[in-house]
Amino acid sequence: MKYKQLTGFILLSGVLLFGMGCASQAPTIAHVHIGHVIDGWETTPDQAGLIVTAENFARIAYEAAERAVQTDATLETRKRDVKLIVNATYPEYLSKMQNSGEENIQTAEFGVRTAMIRAARHIEFSASSDDSSANVRTGARQFSINSQAVIDRCDIIAALGADTLGVDSTEQANLLTAQLVNLTRANLYGEDLNGDGVIGGQNPDEYGLEQLRVEIQNMIARENPPYSTVEQWYLFNLVRLENGKWIFRKNARGKKGAGY
């Protein structure tokens, strides 16, 4: 998707921006934060939305876990895939492991855990914005509760990954990688822990990224005025002032998206 590169002034939510012969209505601050989750964030791979980024890395981790349990996989190839699992899930954990003597691989800047924590933070920002709706505030509370299952699994995946890298037999690695398959699958698709045929619902521990994405989609479907895809200029030029107010100002966060 191509976005217009808008230039100009400090813009408050709701003010018309005039440029390139047309007028653009600024989105609400609450909707921009939701846009960071589903439409785009400045420092993610391909500048994808934070929950999209989390899903992409969760899929990488699950695919690596499935490879690691193949019957013809050697201990060496299993461990290589386990490093990919941890790198896609919790790269900061892998970096600490490597500093402790593990053979180095290039660690990712983002993983499931980082993207999920930031997604939850931006949903909270949307709920605390002055222009947020009751619908967003209610949805944000549920998202905060339900997203914790993914973050908790990331911690377990990293710890199990470290254990797997320390074993010296294929049999031991098999047992641990089987658990990694279940955890990485649950992070992506959720899990029916109580066997009622419904994943998610009233059980926060069952949620995976698929259910969380649907939850956000349902929340924005209820928005009035309606939510629409946020233009990239607004996504990447929202900053918070020292007094807590949000404004749109071009290039105010710098290359690394500093500011919040």
What are the domain boundaries of the chain?
A: 27-248
**Which among 83, 79, 82 is positioned nearest to 105, based on CA atoms?**
83
CB-based contact 35:235 (threshold 8 Å): yes
Is 175's pLDDT higher than 70? Answer: yes
Please give the structure tokens belonging to residue 236: 């990447």
pTM, full prediction: 0.85
pLDDT in tens, 81-136: 999 999 999 998 777 766 544 555 666 778 999 999 999 999 999 999 999 999 99
Rounded alpha-carbon distances, angstroms, from residue 108 to 45, 83, 92, 190: 10, 11, 8, 24
**Which among 6, 2, 10 is positioned nearest to 21, based on CA atoms?**
6
User: CA–CA separation, 132 vs 227, rounded Å?
Assistant: 12
